[in-house]
Amino acid sequence: MYKKIESSKIAYEALSNEVMSNTEGMNRRDALKMMGVGGAAMMMGSPVQTVASESSDKNVKIIIVGGGAGGIMATARLRSAAPNAEITIIAPNEIHLYQPGQVFMAAGLLEESDIQKNNADFIPDGVNWIKDEVTSFDPEQNKLTTAKNGDLEYDYLVVATGIAYDYEAIEGMSEALVGKNGISSVYLSNFTEGTAKGGTETWKWFKEVREAATNASPDKPIDVIFTQPDTPIKCGGAPQKILYLSDDHLRGNGPDGGEDVSKNAKYSFCKNGKTLFGVPEYNKVLTEEVSPMYGNIDNKYNHVLRKIDADNKIATFEHTYEIKGEYDEDLEEYDVTEHKKSVTLAYDYIHVVPPMKPVDAVANSLLGWQKGTAKGWLECDQYTLQHRRFENVFGIGDILGTPMGKTGGSARHHGPILVDNLISVMEGKKLKAQFDGYTVCPLKTEYGSIMMAEFNYDGVAPSFPVLDPSRPRWMWWAFDLHMLKPMYWYLMMRGIM
Ligand SMILES: Cc1cc2nc3c(=O)[nH]c(=O)nc-3n(C[C@H](O)[C@H](O)[C@H](O)COP(=O)(O)OP(=O)(O)OC[C@H]3O[C@@H](n4cnc5c(N)ncnc54)[C@H](O)[C@@H]3O)c2cc1C
């Protein structure tokens, strides 16, 4: 079925070859531990249904829009489940980026070429690939418009367009500023070019911050700011991953070693909301153990970056705070009112996480939620992933307007759900498969340690309940750095896992 990888057996062989080359140079003890992790890792995120339980021999037209993690997984799975369907993927990108690797690039552990592969390697034979972008959707006519190939009609549609960055929503900020004037942003990538500037520039930035701290002193420390916006973001833990890895890099724990110069740097984490993480069990460990372990991090809650003066290195935040009023005898509590004020902070270095939004083609169409906090995101049922108004439309990945699930790990769980339910609609059956909200954030708490934060609509959802999931562990670091990328290329992108 695939041009390069023809069966799951060959895919597993390719996977183990890449894992072996990734682990070259490890000492024997670590390599042995790694093998244990490998076995465990194959189960990661279970129970994911690996093979679609529904199939159809109908000859229908299915279009998938978007060739990132979700679009490719959906294409691979649909090709197997609907062998007679005419399947088309509309994806402009020749290069596929393994985006989670951008954090390891920022930490100096991977290079850009490590996270790039040709999208052609993943598109199964028998699928039409239109290298184009969709400019608008007309779901009432089962039609969409492309930039170069005109209008296309479909019987069934899968929307997998991902998320769009909105750096310009911060006054004075733009993509062009990343890598200049002490500014970086690990998220930045260009899907059309297949480049991940965010990873490359943030590693340079790590080294610049360290050099500046080396030349500073505890009396005159450098100021480094890390931000997190008030919009939904993909991989919600990435802002903290960069915060902790950069601080640990100052301690000489990065790949280039060195003295501990962390006393010469003041770190501020300016974020939306009142907590470090939305799930209480993970938030407790981050707030009470991980963040204090560094000693130089000031968590500034309810601070949202609104403006940057890049020339003068000044950031302006909207700070929301509460004022306690009179005690209400009837309600037996104090009146609390919310206020906002502008706070300016000078910095030497700043890591900016962009506000994020649904891609325009979806947001401006009838496919997006028409109002409310999810306005513009794909209006689908949070369990079946079927569009709430157009029954022949489904979604996968970051574009979904569901309460959670903007990670590659979530897209992996969306894959079999949407395929089974789409096939059920084709066959006139009741929709049975249900997405439980599974989201996974491998939160790097330091070099060599990860808290594998897995959760779903009901709360904490560890793949290995015997291990306390809130404990940062070396084994999750080894799994993420050495195993996950080959598993992504050889199993997930081929709809095998
Ligand atoms: C720095 C960083 C760290 C991350 N870390 C993790 C992690 O540790 N674990 C994890 O699980 N996830 C992580 N993620 C998130 C993960 O990469 C995404 O959740 C995942 O890629 C979502 O898949 P998707 O298909 O929805 O979107 P994407 O993979 O982003 O793909 C969307 C595709 O749609 C295309 N597209 C957009 N608009 C159109 C259009 N109009 N027409 C046609 N095509 C279009 C784009 O070109 C793109 O190729 C991280 C992401 C980043 C950036």
In this prediction, residue 53 has a pLDDT band, given cuts at 50, 70 and 90, of confident
**Res 22: pLDDT:** 55
CA 198 to ligand 1: nearest atom: 1
1 CB contacts (<8 Å, ≥6 apart)? Answer: 79, 80, 124, 125, 126
**Res 20: pLDDT:** 55
Query: Ligand 1: distance of its center to the CA of 301 in Å?
Result: 27
In this prediction, residue 4 has a pLDDT band, given cuts at 50, 70 and 90, of very low
Q: Which of 203, 128, 85, 144 is nearest to 361 (CA)?
A: 144
DSSP state of 81: H
Query: The whole model's pTM is what?
Result: 0.93
Percent of the chain with pLDDT over 90: 86
250 CB contacts (<8 Å, ≥6 apart)? Answer: 209, 210, 213, 260, 261, 262, 264, 265
Give CA–CA dist 98/325, Å, rounded: 50
Amino acid found at 199: G
In this prediction, residue 331 has a pLDDT band, given cuts at 50, 70 and 90, of confident
Question: At residue 63, does pLDDT exceed 90?
Answer: yes
Ranking 6-20, 150-164, 332-346 by mean pLDDT, the lowest is 6-20
CA 440 to ligand 1: nearest atom: 11
Residue 408 in tokens: 């590659």
Q: Which of 76, 90, 77 is nearest to 3 (CA)?
A: 76
Mean pLDDT of 26-46: 48
CA 186 to ligand 1: nearest atom: 1
Residue 67 in tokens: 């060739």
Percent of the chain with pLDDT over 70: 90
**Res 3: pLDDT:** 38
Task: Give, in order, the Cα–Cα distances in Å from 90 to each of 46, 251, 390.
Answer: 30, 46, 20
CA 362 to ligand 1: nearest atom: 41
C-alpha count within 13 angstroms, C-beta hemisphere, residue 56: 21
Residue 246: helix, strand or coil by DSSP?
Answer: helix
Q: Note the pLDDT tens digit of each residue in 484-495.
A: 999 999 999 999
Query: Ligand 1: distance of its center to the CA of 404 in Å?
Result: 15
Query: Ligand 1: distance of its center to the CA of 49 in Å?
Result: 22
Q: Note the pLDDT tens digit of each residue in 238-268.
A: 999 999 999 999 999 999 999 999 999 999 9
Query: Ligand 1: distance of its center to the CA of 415 in Å?
Result: 14
Return the active site residues. Answer: 235, 441
Query: Ligand 1: distance of its center to the CA of 398 in Å?
Result: 7
Q: Whose CA is closest to atom 38 on ligand 1?
A: 161
Within 6 Å (CB) of ligand 1, which residues are found?
65-71, 90-93, 99-100, 102-103, 133-134, 160-162, 186-187, 191, 234-235, 238, 359, 361, 397-399, 406-409, 411, 440, 442
Q: Whose CA is closest to atom 16 on ligand 1?
A: 408
* From 175, 190, 228, 234, mutation site for ligand 1 pocket: most ligand atoms within 8 A of C-beta: 234
pLDDT higher at 277 or 52? 277
